[in-house]
Amino acid sequence: MKAALLKRLFSAVQSGASRDVMSVCKHIVEDERRLGHTSLAEDLQRSIDAAEKKLGNLKKDVSSSHLVSLPSSKRDSAPLVQVLEHEKLRHHMVLSQEVEQRFIRIGKEYAARARLATYGLRARKRILFYGPPGCGKSLGAERLAWSVGLPLYKVRFDTLISSFFGETALNLWRVFDAVQQKPCALFLDECDTIARSRGENNDVGEVSRVVNMLLQLLEDYHADGLVIAATNNYEALDKAIYRRFDEALEMPKPGTHEIARMLKRTLLSLDVEKEVSLDLFSESLDGLSYCEVERIAQNAAKCCVMSNRTIISLSDLQVASQEVKRHS
Protein backbone atom coordinates (compact mmCIF):
# COMPACT_ATOMS: atom_id res chain seq x y z
CA MET A 1 0.00 0.00 0.00
CA LYS A 2 1.23 3.48 -0.83
CA ALA A 3 2.76 5.46 2.00
CA ALA A 4 0.60 8.49 1.10
CA LEU A 5 -2.55 6.41 1.43
CA LEU A 6 -1.44 5.00 4.74
CA LYS A 7 -0.70 8.46 6.11
CA ARG A 8 -4.13 9.70 5.02
CA LEU A 9 -5.83 6.71 6.58
CA PHE A 10 -4.11 7.18 9.93
CA SER A 11 -4.71 10.91 10.07
CA ALA A 12 -8.41 10.34 9.26
CA VAL A 13 -8.64 7.77 12.05
CA GLN A 14 -6.92 10.19 14.43
CA SER A 15 -9.35 13.02 13.62
CA GLY A 16 -12.32 10.69 14.15
CA ALA A 17 -13.93 11.80 10.86
CA SER A 18 -15.70 8.68 9.65
CA ARG A 19 -16.41 10.13 6.21
CA ASP A 20 -12.65 10.69 5.60
CA VAL A 21 -11.85 7.17 6.77
CA MET A 22 -14.45 5.82 4.40
CA SER A 23 -13.07 7.72 1.42
CA VAL A 24 -9.52 6.49 2.11
CA CYS A 25 -10.83 2.94 2.43
CA LYS A 26 -12.48 3.26 -0.97
CA HIS A 27 -9.16 4.34 -2.48
CA ILE A 28 -7.49 1.31 -0.94
CA VAL A 29 -10.09 -0.99 -2.50
CA GLU A 30 -9.52 0.61 -5.91
CA ASP A 31 -5.76 0.22 -5.54
CA GLU A 32 -6.05 -3.44 -4.60
CA ARG A 33 -8.39 -4.05 -7.51
CA ARG A 34 -5.93 -2.38 -9.90
CA LEU A 35 -3.16 -4.59 -8.55
CA GLY A 36 -5.23 -7.66 -9.42
CA HIS A 37 -6.01 -8.62 -5.82
CA THR A 38 -9.69 -9.07 -6.74
CA SER A 39 -10.77 -11.33 -3.93
CA LEU A 40 -9.20 -9.04 -1.28
CA ALA A 41 -10.80 -6.02 -2.97
CA GLU A 42 -14.22 -7.75 -2.87
CA ASP A 43 -13.81 -8.57 0.82
CA LEU A 44 -12.88 -5.00 1.69
CA GLN A 45 -15.73 -3.65 -0.43
CA ARG A 46 -18.21 -5.76 1.55
CA SER A 47 -16.98 -4.16 4.78
CA ILE A 48 -17.45 -0.71 3.29
CA ASP A 49 -20.99 -1.56 2.13
CA ALA A 50 -21.92 -2.81 5.60
CA ALA A 51 -20.50 0.31 7.26
CA GLU A 52 -22.37 2.61 4.86
CA LYS A 53 -25.62 0.80 5.53
CA LYS A 54 -25.13 1.17 9.29
CA LEU A 55 -24.38 4.89 8.89
CA GLY A 56 -27.55 5.36 6.82
CA ASN A 57 -29.69 3.70 9.50
CA LEU A 58 -28.09 5.78 12.20
CA LYS A 59 -28.88 9.00 10.33
CA LYS A 60 -32.49 7.89 9.87
CA ASP A 61 -32.80 7.12 13.61
CA VAL A 62 -31.43 10.48 14.63
CA SER A 63 -33.62 12.50 12.28
CA SER A 64 -36.78 10.66 13.28
CA SER A 65 -36.10 11.03 16.99
CA HIS A 66 -37.07 14.10 18.97
CA LEU A 67 -33.40 14.89 19.59
CA VAL A 68 -33.24 16.97 16.45
CA SER A 69 -36.05 19.28 17.49
CA LEU A 70 -34.97 19.71 21.10
CA PRO A 71 -34.53 23.37 21.92
CA SER A 72 -31.06 24.56 22.80
CA SER A 73 -29.58 27.92 23.61
CA LYS A 74 -28.20 29.83 20.64
CA ARG A 75 -24.99 30.91 22.34
CA ASP A 76 -23.60 27.54 23.43
CA SER A 77 -26.20 25.02 22.14
CA ALA A 78 -26.91 23.90 25.71
CA PRO A 79 -30.13 21.85 25.94
CA LEU A 80 -32.96 23.94 27.38
CA VAL A 81 -35.15 21.02 28.38
CA GLN A 82 -34.72 17.61 29.93
CA VAL A 83 -36.93 14.97 28.34
CA LEU A 84 -38.65 12.38 30.54
CA GLU A 85 -40.09 9.76 28.21
CA HIS A 86 -43.68 8.71 28.83
CA GLU A 87 -42.87 5.17 29.94
CA LYS A 88 -40.37 6.45 32.52
CA LEU A 89 -42.81 8.84 34.22
CA ARG A 90 -43.79 8.18 37.82
CA HIS A 91 -47.53 8.17 38.29
CA HIS A 92 -48.45 6.51 41.59
CA MET A 93 -49.65 9.11 44.04
CA VAL A 94 -51.77 9.47 47.11
CA LEU A 95 -54.22 12.32 46.63
CA SER A 96 -57.31 13.61 48.36
CA GLN A 97 -60.52 12.90 46.46
CA GLU A 98 -60.90 16.53 45.51
CA VAL A 99 -57.42 16.81 43.96
CA GLU A 100 -57.80 13.41 42.32
CA GLN A 101 -61.04 14.59 40.69
CA ARG A 102 -59.32 17.64 39.28
CA PHE A 103 -56.54 15.50 37.80
CA ILE A 104 -59.18 13.27 36.23
CA ARG A 105 -61.07 16.25 34.80
CA ILE A 106 -57.92 17.60 33.12
CA GLY A 107 -57.24 14.16 31.63
CA LYS A 108 -60.80 13.81 30.35
CA GLU A 109 -60.85 17.26 28.81
CA TYR A 110 -57.54 16.59 27.11
CA ALA A 111 -58.92 13.39 25.62
CA ALA A 112 -62.02 15.28 24.44
CA ARG A 113 -60.13 18.34 23.18
CA ALA A 114 -61.19 17.92 19.57
CA ARG A 115 -64.87 17.55 20.49
CA LEU A 116 -64.66 20.58 22.78
CA ALA A 117 -63.07 22.60 19.97
CA THR A 118 -66.03 21.98 17.69
CA TYR A 119 -68.11 23.94 20.21
CA GLY A 120 -65.49 26.66 20.39
CA LEU A 121 -64.36 25.44 23.82
CA ARG A 122 -60.78 24.94 24.93
CA ALA A 123 -59.66 21.99 27.02
CA ARG A 124 -57.71 22.92 30.14
CA LYS A 125 -54.14 22.85 28.87
CA ARG A 126 -52.29 25.36 31.00
CA ILE A 127 -52.09 24.06 34.53
CA LEU A 128 -50.47 25.71 37.54
CA PHE A 129 -49.65 23.63 40.62
CA TYR A 130 -49.07 25.53 43.81
CA GLY A 131 -48.67 24.60 47.46
CA PRO A 132 -46.05 23.81 50.12
CA PRO A 133 -42.88 21.85 49.28
CA GLY A 134 -42.95 18.06 49.28
CA CYS A 135 -46.65 17.79 48.44
CA GLY A 136 -46.49 16.38 44.94
CA LYS A 137 -46.21 19.31 42.53
CA SER A 138 -43.26 17.89 40.60
CA LEU A 139 -44.58 14.35 40.93
CA GLY A 140 -48.04 15.60 39.88
CA ALA A 141 -46.60 16.98 36.64
CA GLU A 142 -45.23 13.53 35.82
CA ARG A 143 -48.54 11.91 36.66
CA LEU A 144 -50.51 14.37 34.57
CA ALA A 145 -48.27 13.89 31.53
CA TRP A 146 -48.40 10.13 32.04
CA SER A 147 -52.18 10.10 32.28
CA VAL A 148 -52.60 11.86 28.93
CA GLY A 149 -49.91 9.74 27.26
CA LEU A 150 -47.31 12.48 26.72
CA PRO A 151 -43.60 12.74 27.47
CA LEU A 152 -42.60 15.46 29.93
CA TYR A 153 -40.26 18.21 28.74
CA LYS A 154 -38.82 19.77 31.85
CA VAL A 155 -37.38 23.24 31.36
CA ARG A 156 -33.80 23.51 32.57
CA PHE A 157 -33.51 26.86 34.25
CA ASP A 158 -29.77 26.34 34.70
CA THR A 159 -29.29 26.67 30.94
CA LEU A 160 -32.35 28.82 30.19
CA ILE A 161 -31.37 31.73 32.40
CA SER A 162 -28.60 33.70 30.80
CA SER A 163 -26.60 36.61 32.12
CA PHE A 164 -26.70 38.20 28.65
CA PHE A 165 -29.41 40.79 28.31
CA GLY A 166 -32.50 39.54 26.47
CA GLU A 167 -31.25 35.99 26.12
CA THR A 168 -33.41 34.41 28.82
CA ALA A 169 -36.55 35.64 27.04
CA LEU A 170 -35.18 34.40 23.72
CA ASN A 171 -34.42 30.98 25.23
CA LEU A 172 -37.95 30.82 26.60
CA TRP A 173 -39.29 31.58 23.14
CA ARG A 174 -37.11 28.82 21.68
CA VAL A 175 -38.54 26.32 24.18
CA PHE A 176 -42.16 27.17 23.38
CA ASP A 177 -41.40 27.20 19.67
CA ALA A 178 -39.85 23.72 19.85
CA VAL A 179 -42.68 22.15 21.83
CA GLN A 180 -45.19 23.05 19.13
CA GLN A 181 -43.51 20.45 16.91
CA LYS A 182 -44.23 17.38 18.95
CA PRO A 183 -47.08 16.74 21.43
CA CYS A 184 -45.60 16.88 24.90
CA ALA A 185 -46.23 18.28 28.35
CA LEU A 186 -43.94 21.21 28.96
CA PHE A 187 -43.04 21.60 32.61
CA LEU A 188 -41.82 24.80 34.23
CA ASP A 189 -40.96 23.58 37.72
CA GLU A 190 -40.43 26.29 40.35
CA CYS A 191 -41.57 28.78 37.77
CA ASP A 192 -41.28 31.70 40.18
CA THR A 193 -37.60 31.58 39.21
CA ILE A 194 -38.62 33.45 36.06
CA ALA A 195 -42.22 34.53 36.71
CA ARG A 196 -41.74 36.56 39.87
CA SER A 197 -43.49 39.86 40.18
CA ARG A 198 -42.29 42.60 37.89
CA GLY A 199 -40.76 45.61 39.50
CA GLU A 200 -39.78 44.06 42.83
CA ASN A 201 -36.28 43.22 41.70
CA ASN A 202 -33.32 45.50 41.11
CA ASP A 203 -32.88 43.90 37.69
CA VAL A 204 -36.18 45.42 36.59
CA GLY A 205 -35.67 45.57 32.84
CA GLU A 206 -34.70 41.96 32.38
CA VAL A 207 -37.33 40.61 34.78
CA SER A 208 -40.22 42.36 33.03
CA ARG A 209 -38.86 41.32 29.66
CA VAL A 210 -38.92 37.65 30.71
CA VAL A 211 -42.32 37.92 32.40
CA ASN A 212 -43.80 39.68 29.36
CA MET A 213 -42.42 36.98 27.11
CA LEU A 214 -43.89 34.25 29.32
CA LEU A 215 -47.27 36.03 29.35
CA GLN A 216 -47.28 36.19 25.58
CA LEU A 217 -46.15 32.58 25.13
CA LEU A 218 -48.80 31.28 27.52
CA GLU A 219 -51.44 33.38 25.80
CA ASP A 220 -50.43 32.07 22.36
CA TYR A 221 -50.02 28.46 23.45
CA HIS A 222 -52.28 26.36 21.21
CA ALA A 223 -50.09 23.31 20.77
CA ASP A 224 -51.41 19.79 21.05
CA GLY A 225 -50.02 19.23 24.52
CA LEU A 226 -49.98 20.69 28.03
CA VAL A 227 -48.08 23.42 29.79
CA ILE A 228 -47.61 22.68 33.47
CA ALA A 229 -46.00 25.08 35.91
CA ALA A 230 -45.32 24.66 39.61
CA THR A 231 -44.47 26.99 42.44
CA ASN A 232 -44.03 26.86 46.23
CA ASN A 233 -44.22 30.59 46.23
CA TYR A 234 -47.64 31.48 44.95
CA GLU A 235 -47.52 34.98 46.41
CA ALA A 236 -44.36 35.90 44.54
CA LEU A 237 -45.85 35.03 41.15
CA ASP A 238 -46.77 37.88 38.88
CA LYS A 239 -50.56 38.09 39.10
CA ALA A 240 -50.94 38.45 35.34
CA ILE A 241 -49.14 35.12 34.90
CA TYR A 242 -51.52 33.42 37.29
CA ARG A 243 -54.48 34.57 35.15
CA ARG A 244 -53.00 32.96 32.03
CA PHE A 245 -53.50 29.47 33.43
CA ASP A 246 -56.71 27.54 32.74
CA GLU A 247 -56.48 25.88 36.12
CA ALA A 248 -54.62 26.73 39.32
CA LEU A 249 -54.50 23.51 41.28
CA GLU A 250 -53.53 23.64 44.93
CA MET A 251 -51.52 20.65 46.13
CA PRO A 252 -52.11 20.85 49.89
CA LYS A 253 -50.50 18.96 52.75
CA PRO A 254 -52.04 15.55 53.38
CA GLY A 255 -54.94 15.13 55.79
CA THR A 256 -54.78 12.24 58.29
CA HIS A 257 -56.56 9.96 55.84
CA GLU A 258 -53.94 10.60 53.14
CA ILE A 259 -51.13 10.26 55.73
CA ALA A 260 -52.43 6.82 56.69
CA ARG A 261 -52.63 5.78 53.02
CA MET A 262 -49.12 7.07 52.44
CA LEU A 263 -47.78 5.07 55.44
CA LYS A 264 -49.57 1.87 54.39
CA ARG A 265 -48.37 2.22 50.82
CA THR A 266 -44.73 2.74 51.83
CA LEU A 267 -44.77 -0.07 54.41
CA LEU A 268 -46.39 -2.58 52.07
CA SER A 269 -43.41 -4.95 51.93
CA LEU A 270 -43.25 -5.42 55.73
CA ASP A 271 -45.69 -6.31 58.48
CA VAL A 272 -46.66 -3.87 61.20
CA GLU A 273 -47.25 -5.05 64.80
CA LYS A 274 -50.90 -5.99 65.25
CA GLU A 275 -51.39 -3.59 68.16
CA VAL A 276 -50.24 -0.60 66.10
CA SER A 277 -52.97 1.43 64.46
CA LEU A 278 -51.51 3.34 61.52
CA ASP A 279 -54.69 5.42 61.41
CA LEU A 280 -54.09 6.54 64.99
CA PHE A 281 -50.36 7.08 64.41
CA SER A 282 -51.23 9.23 61.35
CA GLU A 283 -52.86 11.79 63.59
CA SER A 284 -49.52 12.47 65.24
CA LEU A 285 -48.10 13.37 61.82
CA ASP A 286 -50.67 16.02 60.99
CA GLY A 287 -49.03 19.07 59.42
CA LEU A 288 -46.19 17.18 57.73
CA SER A 289 -45.78 16.98 53.95
CA TYR A 290 -46.25 13.84 51.85
CA CYS A 291 -42.51 13.74 51.39
CA GLU A 292 -41.87 13.82 55.16
CA VAL A 293 -44.47 11.12 55.84
CA GLU A 294 -42.89 8.93 53.19
CA ARG A 295 -39.46 9.47 54.76
CA ILE A 296 -40.76 8.48 58.22
CA ALA A 297 -42.21 5.25 56.83
CA GLN A 298 -39.04 4.47 54.90
CA ASN A 299 -36.77 5.18 57.86
CA ALA A 300 -38.90 3.06 60.19
CA ALA A 301 -38.82 0.22 57.65
CA LYS A 302 -35.04 0.50 57.25
CA CYS A 303 -34.51 0.51 60.99
CA CYS A 304 -36.58 -2.68 61.25
CA VAL A 305 -34.75 -4.47 58.44
CA MET A 306 -31.32 -3.38 59.66
CA SER A 307 -32.02 -4.93 63.06
CA ASN A 308 -33.04 -8.20 61.39
CA ARG A 309 -36.71 -7.95 62.19
CA THR A 310 -39.60 -8.32 59.80
CA ILE A 311 -42.31 -6.67 61.87
CA ILE A 312 -42.33 -2.91 62.33
CA SER A 313 -42.95 -1.74 65.88
CA LEU A 314 -44.55 1.45 67.15
CA SER A 315 -41.14 2.45 68.46
CA ASP A 316 -39.63 2.21 64.92
CA LEU A 317 -42.29 4.62 63.72
CA GLN A 318 -41.96 6.98 66.67
CA VAL A 319 -38.17 7.22 66.46
CA ALA A 320 -38.37 7.91 62.71
CA SER A 321 -41.09 10.48 63.22
CA GLN A 322 -39.16 12.36 65.91
CA GLU A 323 -36.11 12.48 63.70
CA VAL A 324 -37.97 13.87 60.70
CA LYS A 325 -39.93 16.35 62.83
CA ARG A 326 -36.70 17.65 64.34
CA HIS A 327 -35.53 18.60 60.86
CA SER A 328 -38.81 19.94 59.51
Ligand X SMILES: Nc1ncnc2c1ncn2[C@@H]1O[C@H](COP(=O)(O)OP(=O)(O)O)[C@@H](O)[C@H]1O
In the complex, the smallest distance separating the C-beta of residue 189 from ligand X, rounded to whole angstroms, is 7
207, interface contact from ligand X, Mg ion, none, CB < 5-8 Å by kind: none
Residue in 137, 156, 198, 244 binding ligand X, rule: CB under 6 A: 137
The footprint of ligand X on residues 256-295 (CB under 6 A) is 290-291, 294
94, interface contact from Mg ion, ligand X, none, CB < 5-8 Å by kind: ligand X
Under the binding rule (CB under 5 A), the answer on residue 138 touching Mg ion is yes
In the complex, the smallest distance separating the C-beta of residue 21 from Mg ion, rounded to whole angstroms, is 47
DSSP annotation of 268: T
The burial of 282, by beta-carbon neighbours within 10 Å (0-12 exposed, 13-18 middle, 19 or more buried), is given as buried
Q: Can you name the residues that pair with 186 across neighbouring β-strands? A: 153, 227
297, interface contact from Mg ion, ligand X, none, CB < 5-8 Å by kind: none
CB of 187 within 8 A of CB of 178? no
Residue nearest to ligand X (CB): 136
How many positions of this chain bind Mg ion (CB under 5 A)?
Answer: 2
In the complex, the smallest distance separating the C-beta of residue 262 from ligand X, rounded to whole angstroms, is 6
Which of these ranges, 7-15, 77-85, 133-141, 217-225, lies near ligand X under the rule CB under 6 A?
133-141
Query: What length does the chain have?
Result: 328
CA dist 223 → 49, 96, 104, 110, 184 (Å): 43, 30, 21, 12, 9
- Give kind and range of the element (H or E) at residue 251: none
- CA atoms of 242 and 234, how far apart (whole Å): 9
Spell out the residues 6+ positions from residue 93 whose beta carbon is closer than 8 angstroms to its own.
136, 139, 140, 143
- Give kind and range of the element (H or E) at residue 84: strand 81-84
71, interface contact from Mg ion, ligand X, none, CB < 5-8 Å by kind: none
Which of these ranges, 9-17, 43-51, 131-139, 191-199, lies near Mg ion under the rule CB under 5 A?
131-139
CB atoms closer than 10 angstroms to residue 27: 15
Residue in 29, 95, 185, 317 binding ligand X, rule: CB under 6 A: 95
Spell out the residues 6+ positions from residue 289 whose beta carbon is closer than 8 angstroms to its own.
132, 133, 134, 135, 253, 254, 328
The footprint of ligand X on residues 214-253 (CB under 6 A) is 230, 251
In the complex, the smallest distance separating the C-beta of residue 140 from Mg ion, rounded to whole angstroms, is 9
Fill in the per-residue mask, 27 to 46: x = in contact with ligand X (CB under 6 A), - = not in contact: --------------------
In the complex, the smallest distance separating the C-beta of residue 258 from ligand X, rounded to whole angstroms, is 7
- Give kind and range of the element (H or E) at residue 93: none
Nearer to Mg ion, 137 or 196 (CB): 137
- CA atoms of 184 and 188, how far apart (whole Å): 13
Under the binding rule (CB under 6 A), the answer on residue 130 touching ligand X is no
Residues that bind ligand X (CB under 6 A): 93-95, 133-139, 230, 251, 290-291, 294
Residues that bind Mg ion (CB under 5 A): 137-138
